[in-house]
Amino acid sequence: MLLGCGLLYAGDTSRKGTTGADQLLIPVGAKTVATAGAFMANTTGTEAIYVNPAGLSGSESSEALFSYTDYIAGMKLAYFSAAYYMGDLGSVGLSFKNLNFGDIPITTAANPDGLGATYSPSFFVLGLTYSKAITDRVRAGVNMKYINESIMATGANGLAFDFGVQYKFLGNLWLGVALKNIGSDMRYTGTDLQSKTQVPNATPTSYGSGIYEPVTESFELPSIFELSFSYLFEISQDNSLMLAALYRNNNALEDEVCVGGDLTVIKMIHIRGGYEYLTQNQSDSEYGLCLGAGLEYNVSNLIVNVDYAYRSLKSFKGNQVVGLRVSF
């Protein structure tokens, strides 16, 4: 049944640009970016909150993750998440994702060159995640997200959910399924949309002016369905190679296929790579090759991971991501 769902083409290219809150689709975590997000089936800990909430309980320790992305056109993306492991009760996590647009000059129809002042939109996502290992092979999780977009005195709010499952077969094979960004439509409202105008056919003795606010068009969230497989090749006691493939079904875009690999050397050094491409209209694909590396080491009772990733783009300078994850 899952394979059949994965092969359905719900993405419609004629609906491009009809969804909003696309900051939900910007990947976080250097490990995730370096492998093109393909490791949805077996990613664990705080990195799994974005990839697949089921994996949060896969790490039998509490964790904290900070990720910073040099995105496009001067925009920056900061992400923080923390998880608390509760043993047989599962794991809970909190996450915060903020997209910084920088300072933008304020212009009007009468002053197209600017007023000498600036504004900065505020786009953030606040998440609460719960995950539990149902058996020694099955994990399930849910992530609830509050979405806020503010542009001066105008804004939109929404609520969305992610659902995920991870299953481990006999041997070193994992299966992952995730349904993301399922929630309410969003609509912009606010005082900046209001205009003052003369009321038509007003009498001289009546109040001749009024304030109106146009009803803005609502927009859907960019919901997606993902199906992924991962397999671990044990080269030796201290060296291994993990490979993964992911199929992503978008509600308003061509479907995507992502592949990734993670080579572990002496249980400390990680060399990663990935590739993502569209199943249709490949020439329109903005993303492609992803590369990265990581270092894992123990400091007292802490396990510290420092990661870096590079994501190539066709129309902009490539994204650079740095991440720090601490397990305790």
Q: To the nearest 10°, the Cα dihedral for 284, 286, 291, 297?
A: -140
Whether residue 173 is contained in a domain is answered as yes
Do the beta carbons of residue 57 and residue 137 sit within 8 Å?
Answer: no
Residues 71-89 have a mean pLDDT of: 94
Closest CA to 93 of 163, 143, 158: 143
H-helix or E-strand spanning residue 2: helix 2-6
Arithmetic mean of pLDDT, 263-283: 91
18 located within any domain: no
Place of tokens 């400091």: 299
DSSP state of 266: T
Counting residues of the chain whose pLDDT is more than 70, the rounded percentage is 93
Predicted pLDDT at 285: 82
For 30, which DSSP code?
A: H
Please give the average per-residue pLDDT across 93-119, as a whole number.
90
Residue 108 tokens read as 């009007």
Indicate whether 255 pLDDT > 80.
Answer: yes
Q: Among 134-143, 194-203, 279-288, 308-317, which is the least confidently predicted range? A: 194-203
The pLDDT value given to residue 208: 61
Please give the single-letter amino acid code of residue 296.
E
Q: Residue 289 is inside which H or E element, if any?
A: strand 287-299
CATH number of the domain encompassing residue 242: 2.40.160.60
Total domains, the chain: 1
| 218, part of any domain | yes
Angstrom distance (rounded) from CA 117 to CA 103 = 9
Q: Is 128 a member of any domain?
A: yes
Distance between CA atoms of 304 and 321, rounded to whole angstroms? 17
Note whether residue 109 is domain-resident: yes
Residue 34 buriedness (CB in 10 A; 0-12 / 13-18 / 19+): buried
Q: What is the pLDDT of residues 222-251, one digit of tens each?
A: 999 999 999 999 999 899 999 999 999 988
User: Does residue 82 belong to any structural domain of this protein?
Assistant: yes
Is the residue at 20 inside a domain? no
* CA dist list (Å): 35 to 14, 217, 242, 302, 325: 29, 37, 10, 25, 17
Tell me the pTM. 0.87
Whether pLDDT at 112 is above 70: yes
Q: What range does the domain containing 274 cover?
A: 2-13+25-327
Q: State how far the Cα of 25 lies from the Cα of 27, in Å rounded to an integer.
A: 6
Q: Is residue 85 included in any domain, yes or no?
A: yes
**Given this model, what pLDDT does residue 13 score?**
66
What the block records as the tokens of 327 is 């397990």
